[in-house]
Amino acid sequence: AVLVIAGFTVGGLGRGGGGGQSVTVGRYNEFQQGIGVQHPIMPDTYPIPHVPDSQTVEYSTTPPTSGKHLNRWAECGFYTEGLPDERITHNLEHGNIVVSYNLATDEEVYQLRNAVIGIDFYDTWGLTRFYDKIPEGTVALSTWGVMDTIVGIDQDRMNRFFDAYAG
């Protein structure tokens, strides 16, 4: 219990508001005006909306920002392969930020890896995965109820998103 409370306390330290308006968007996140785009939470997500491993879910956003999901989340880290939407949506529910990318070259993937590793709290709250359902050259940051879509790699924008929503 102490570790869980400490995790929420540390995660909350990065919640810079920058004077923007806050609106609750999910269980833990508050929308920070000017950082990402707020998306409605999908219906039937409470109580805990777990689905069997064999079930696919149709999401209202691509990549997902809420919805039913698998019982087990993915470990934080950098994945060069894709992970199913149903798995990463569980991460979103727990305050993680999922960085989905569809980059054209190994050099761009290397640059993205270096960028996310340099973000505060990435090791604790971040997960990066290849995602071919977004246009090539795109990086999408998502958390429960919020998404920011970037063409290319923008370190400052990624830092702001993590500062606002990690944990």
What mean pLDDT is reported for the chain?
A: 84
Q: Which amino acid is at 75?
A: E
**Residue pLDDT, tens place only, 27-57:** 455 788 889 999 998 887 666 688 888 889 9
How many CA atoms lie within 13 Å of 100's alpha carbon, on the beta-carbon side?
A: 25
> What's the average model confidence in pLDDT over 56-85?
94
Q: Which of 60, 72, 144, 152 is nearest to 108 (CA)?
A: 152
Query: DSSP secondary structure string, 109-142?
Result: HHHHHHHHHTSTTHHHHEEEEE-TTS-TTEEEEE
Q: How far apart are CA 158 and CA 1, in angstroms?
A: 30
Residue 17 burial (CB count, 10 A) = 13
> In Å, what is the CA distance from 139 to each residue of 4, 51, 108?
30, 27, 11
What the block records as the tokens of 25 is 């968007």
pTM: 0.81
